[in-house]
């Protein structure tokens, strides 16, 4: 069965600093990978996705992620964090053509001004 691990429960960064959120997955076939952001009391917004092709994926709000098959990782990065980026971030793997999403436990990002 597929699984997703986000090893960092909480991360605090200063505004303007770079950010990397880690995500490792376990899945036997080619994964469909997603990063979502959830603000308090809100649903999930898709930041970016990887299905195939270029392993460096660009998303919204200046985020990017890199798929590394050898490391089973799909880490999310942003070169300069803004205070409005404070939220919870979820990595997910989709199976069955993305039909079924398995989420990681999330990383809570706090941004210090």
Residues found near another protein in the complex (CB under 8 A)? 32, 36, 41-46, 49, 51, 90, 97-106
Which is nearer to another protein, 14 or 104 (by Cβ)? 104
Which is nearer to another protein, 64 or 103 (by Cβ)? 103
**How far are the Cα atoms of 38, 51, 81, 82 from residue 17, in angstroms, in the given order?**
21, 29, 6, 9
Which is nearer to another protein, 15 or 49 (by Cβ)? 49
CB 3, min distance to another protein, A: 11
CB 80, min distance to another protein, A: 27
CB 40, min distance to another protein, A: 10
Who contacts 40 (Cβ-Cβ below 8 Å, separation ≥6)? 87
Which is nearer to another protein, 82 or 100 (by Cβ)? 100
Instruction: Read off the tokens for 10.
Output: 């909480």
CB 43, min distance to another protein, A: 4
Q: Count H helices and E strands in the chain, helices first.
A: 0, 12
How much is the CA Rg of the chain, to the nearest whole Å? 13
Q: Are 72 and 66 in contact (CB under 8 A)?
A: no
């Amino acid at each position: 069965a597929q699984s997703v691990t986000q090893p960092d429960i909480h991360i605090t960064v200063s505004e303007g600093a770079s950010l990397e959120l880690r995500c490792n997955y376990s899945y036997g076939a080619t994964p469909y990978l997603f990063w979502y952001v959830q603000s308090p009391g809100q649903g999930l917004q898709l930041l970016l996705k990887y299905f195939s092709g270029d392993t460096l994926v660009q998303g919204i709000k200046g985020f990017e992620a890199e798929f590394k098959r050898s490391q089973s990782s799909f880490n999310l990065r942003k070169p300069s964090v803004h205070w409005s980026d404070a939220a919870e971030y979820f990595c997910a793997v989709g199976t069955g053509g993305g039909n079924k999403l398995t989420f990681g436990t999330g990383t809570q990002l706090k941004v210090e001004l």
